[in-house]
Every structure is written in C-alpha cells, then in structure tokens.
Amino acid sequence: MSANFGPPLAMELFSDLFPTTPVLANVSSKAIELFHGSSVLEFLTNSVLVALVVLGIVLWFSRKATKNMTLIPHKAQNFFEFIIEFLYDRVVGIVGEKQAKLAFPLLGTLFIYILVSNWFGLIPGVGTIGVGDAVGPFMVGEVHEPMLRPPTADLNATLALSISAFLVWLYLTIKELGVMGFLSHTFGAKGGLKGIMGVVVAIVFLFVGVIEVVSMILRPMTLSVRLYGNIFAGESVLHTLGGLLDKAGFPWSFIGSVLFPFPFYFMELLVGLLQAIVFTLLCSVYIQLSTTHDEHHEEEGHH
C-alpha cells in the first residue's frame, strides 16, 4: 500500500516555469529490511533501528536526570521532574490516586516514547536518506528504501504499544475487581430493579455487555490504527511536498524540498504531540472505566 497525494494547483503553477512534471513521493507503508538475506539481522528494519535509537535517547536522558539527584535540582533533573509531575497529576485526575500508582509507569512511558518517536520522524534525513534514483548531487527523486523510519509510522510498532497497554489494562482490572467482579461489572444489571423490570433490564445489560466485550477486543486495533494513520499521513504529505520540484533540476529541486514542507513541520509537531496525548488519554480512560466500582456495590460493601 502506498500513499500518493497530488496537489493539482501547485503542479499547474510550476508547469509553466519548468517543462517537466514533478515526481510525487510514494511512502511505503512497510518497514524495509536493512540487511537483506541475513538470517541473524533480518528483524532489524529501518523502523526497528529508529525505535532502538529513541529508546536509547529516553533511557539516556532519564538516567542522566536521575543519576545524581540533589535537593536543589540541576537542569536535567528539574526538567525531568517537571515532566513526571505534570504527567502524574494528569493521570491521577483520570484514574484516581490508587490506580495511578500502578498505571503511571506504563502511561508515562507510553506518552514520552510516542512523543519522541513522532518528533524524531521530523528530523531531516529520517525517511529521506536512502536508496533511490539520483536527480542531483547527493539527492534522489524518490527514496525507495529509506535507512531511517519513525517507528510510529510502522503499524507493527503501534500495534505492539496497543497490545502492551491492553495487557496492563486487563491486569489492573482483574487485580481491582477480580474475575467475577469484572464479569458482574460488564454484564451485570445496574439500577437495582426487581421483578419483571429487573429481568428486562438484566437481559438488556447482557447484550450491552457483549457489545462492551467486542469493543474491548477492538481497542488495541483502534489505538494502533489511529496513531499509525496520523503519523503515516503526515509523513506522506511532507514527502509529497518535498518532491514537487524533483524534476526541475538542481538547485530548484533542493530549494523546493526545503521550502514547501517547512510550514507543515509546525503542524506535524502539533500532530505528534496531540497523538501522544490521545493515545495516553484513551488508555487512562479505559483503565478508569474498568476499575471503577458500581455505586450499589460500594453501598452494599459499606453495609
């Protein structure tokens, strides 16, 4: 599958200036193996390589900020503490103090890792340096095999993040409610009605519970596709805009590859932040919804 966006107005404007038609970049949705034919390193794709680099950056900075912690924090410690405290307060506001102590290691890590991965893909050279057809000095018209690729533009990576979040959500839910409590929370009738109306309400909530189970199963897919789709679409737009003047020759191709995508980089910075927030926020809401006790159960427990 490939994305091919063609702005016809821009092509018409530049067709009068340059006799050739711009080549629109096609961004592959598949990760590219860096070592073809190697049975040992076949797992190392361009997205896996960047994922390891991002992981190394996060671990290095967290280690640097917490290695020699002092009462009067240094710059790295102060910045790291600000991020952690800010995120922790947001998580507490959603899932509560009790669940925040258990869920924050996952939620905080997800937010930081996704944000750094999204923004790492905007670094010049990521997705644009690789194997392709040359159109000028050190330039290719279309990169067929990029050496670097943001991990969140790979569906495998976003699906792995979503499944990890789903497993932790399941563990916290069972730990808080128990198996029977989870089934009662999902399928049990609410409202405390008795008699015929109680039976009717119980049947209705049974069907509602089945729908809820289906939605729970689909959550990892929806989380992963949402994150992947937004990052992949942004990457495709930037590549397309950067390749509008590839056939115009040097230096116009170089100027176009810098000027056209530049305004959209600010938009992608915002999109990368928003997608990290949305992913983490949805995971927090899922945990809050499944670990909250029903009011009538709490009243019975107090009695």
φ, ψ of residue 161 in degrees (nearest 5): -65, -40
Assign 2 a pLDDT band (cuts: 50, 70, 90).
very low
Assign 191 a pLDDT band (cuts: 50, 70, 90).
low
For residue 251, whether the previous peptide bond is cis, meaning omega lies within 30 degrees of 0, is yes
Assign 148 a pLDDT band (cuts: 50, 70, 90).
confident
pLDDT for position 293: 62
pLDDT tops 80 at residue 201: no
Q: From the CB of residue 284, how many other CB atoms can be counted at a distance below 10 Å?
A: 26
Of 165-169, 220-224, 289-293, least confident by mean pLDDT is 289-293
- Mean residue pLDDT of the chain comes to 77
Q: Which residue has the higher pLDDT, 121 or 18?
A: 121
pLDDT for position 45: 82
Which amino acid belongs to residue 89?
Answer: D
pLDDT tops 90 at residue 145: no
Contacts of 209 (CB under 8 A, 6+ apart): 186, 187, 188
pLDDT tops 90 at residue 35: no
Q: Mean pLDDT over residues 262-271, rounded?
A: 88
**Helix axes of 195-242 and 252-259: crossing angle, nearest 10 degrees:** 150
Does the model's pTM come out above 0.85? no
Nearest to 160 by CA among 249, 48, 1: 48
φ, ψ of residue 106 in degrees (nearest 5): -75, -50
3-state class percentages of the chain: helix first, strand second, coil last, to nearest 5? 70, 5, 25
Contacts of 263 (CB under 8 A, 6+ apart): none
Nearest to 149 by CA among 291, 290, 275, 29: 29
Nearest to 265 by CA among 81, 143, 127, 107: 127
CA dist., res. 21 & res. 24, Å (int) = 9
Nearest to 136 by CA among 255, 13, 48, 17: 255
Strands (E), the chain: 2-3, 27-28, 130-136, 139-146
